[in-house]
Amino acid sequence: MTRALGLIVLAAFAAGPLTVAAQTLSAVTRGPAAVGDARSGPDPVLRELLLEAIADAESFVDRFDAEVWLVDMSARLSRQVPDPGERLEILKAVHKHATLVGLDPELVLAVIDVESNFDRFAISSASALGLMQVMPFWVEELGYSDKNRLFDIDFNVLLGCRILKYYLDMENGDFVRGLARYNGSVGQRWYADRVLDRLREKWYRL
């Protein structure tokens, strides 16, 4: 993770992360929920961006040569993903797709950690699927018929990274609001606090 992102994370915590008890009792709101978050339905602009990303997927050049990063993150992930082949596939997909859209791979790892605990077959109570818990309405919107495609590691991470980047850009880099929009909880900060806490405690590299 870049030093700049680390400073942003620390600043977000200085602004007052929620305690576990406070998260349980009530979410801290920042105004009425806005439209266009990841759970409210397909955004037509985002749909076009995702279609372009899928069309260009075969031309992506994976210059994954961060061996130190790979070894470090693989060790951190070994308890949740015991199979080394699957672990490598997840880490390479995260590094590739996060880098392509200008996200820190560590931030994406923190999102996956909170969203699915690195279970590629995870299904949420809201029917979100896979590592980054992508909503299944995107399957039909992007021209596919089988929602199980969202259990594919590379495809799920590709979509998740693009969606996350889109919402962070929409919120002008505001991590709390951008992450809340990704989770479908705009106006609350409990989800962003969980992700930033996981990033700071587990994935952040000093």
Q: Is 115 a catalytic residue?
A: yes
67, 115, 140, 171: which one is catalytic?
A: 115
Q: Is the pLDDT of residue 12 over 70?
A: no
Show the domain range for 21. Answer: 3-203
pLDDT digits (tens, 9 = 90+) for 41-71: 667 776 776 667 666 655 555 555 567 888 8
Q: What is the pLDDT of residue 124?
A: 93
Percent of the chain surpassing pLDDT 70: 69
> Which CATH number goes with the domain that contains 57?
1.10.530
Torsion of Cα atoms, 178 then 120 then 63 then 108, to 10°: 20
pLDDT digits (tens, 9 = 90+) for 77-130: 999 999 999 998 999 899 999 999 999 999 999 999 999 999 999 999 999 999
Percent of the chain surpassing pLDDT 90: 56
Structure tokens at 4: 């700049």
Q: CA–CA separation, 176 vs 186, rounded Å?
A: 9
Predicted TM-score of the model (pTM): 0.74
- Nearest CA to 198 out of 103, 106, 90 is that of 106
pLDDT digits (tens, 9 = 90+) for 172-185: 999 999 999 999 99
Structure tokens at 178: 């951008």
The count of domains in the chain is: 1
Q: Is the pLDDT of residue 145 over 50?
A: yes
